[in-house]
Amino acid sequence: MHKEKSPIEIRLAGLMQGIHEFDFTCKASDFTGWQLAEAGFTRDITVKVVVEKSETEVTITLEVLTIADFTCDICLAPVSKKLSGSLRLYYVSGTSFGEELSENEDYRVLDKNAESIDITTDVCETLLLSLPLKVTCTDNPDCRLYGSNVPGNEEPQVGENSSWHESLEKLKNKYR
């Protein structure tokens, strides 16, 4: 049976002791089953991984960086936000630590014969945890609620509605 290759996997076989850095660039479509594109992740996702390997422990520090596209929760204007998140993972090899570490969520037990560590799930969870609860466009001059105090912001002329203005009007008419 052929195992599907993970988008983000750290190969341990042949990795010497010490500090190693890896850079990955992927798209939301590379993470099947996570619906990252629906959450706003439509651009490249950059993952920087630092692996510190010792004789009995592997420490992985990952930093995720991307720009996500949303709509303003107030005026439905398109908004792009830079999102980042980080996570540190500890893997301990050997069976003697298994019982002690089973209750500690910070550590994971790693089989001594493991050839690689798949951190795809951890990257997806870090991305989803970086999502803002509320998206507003305070810097967008097109937002009528916040943009009216910005100097040089004139009211749009009749017939100059952009696509998000039209979407907002349709939504407003729907609920009248």
What does the domain layout of the chain look like in residue ranges? 9-71+79-136
What gap in Å lies between CA 89 and CA 101, rounded to an integer? 13
Q: Among 25-39, 58-72, 94-108, which stretch is predicted with the lowest mean pLDDT?
A: 94-108
- Between vectors from CA 158 to CA 152 and to CA 162, what angle results, nearest 5°? 75
The helix (H) or strand (E) run that includes residue 6 is none
| pLDDT score of 151 more than 80 | no
pLDDT at 96: 57
Residue 159's pLDDT band (cuts 50, 70, 90): low
Which CA distances in Å does 142 have to 29, 85, 152, 155, 175?
31, 29, 11, 9, 23
Q: Among 40-49, 51-60, 159-168, which stretch is predicted with the lowest mean pLDDT?
A: 159-168
pLDDT at 1: 36
pLDDT at 150: 45
pLDDT at 2: 38
pLDDT tens for 1-44 read: 334 566 788 888 888 889 999 999 988 888 877 778 788 888 89
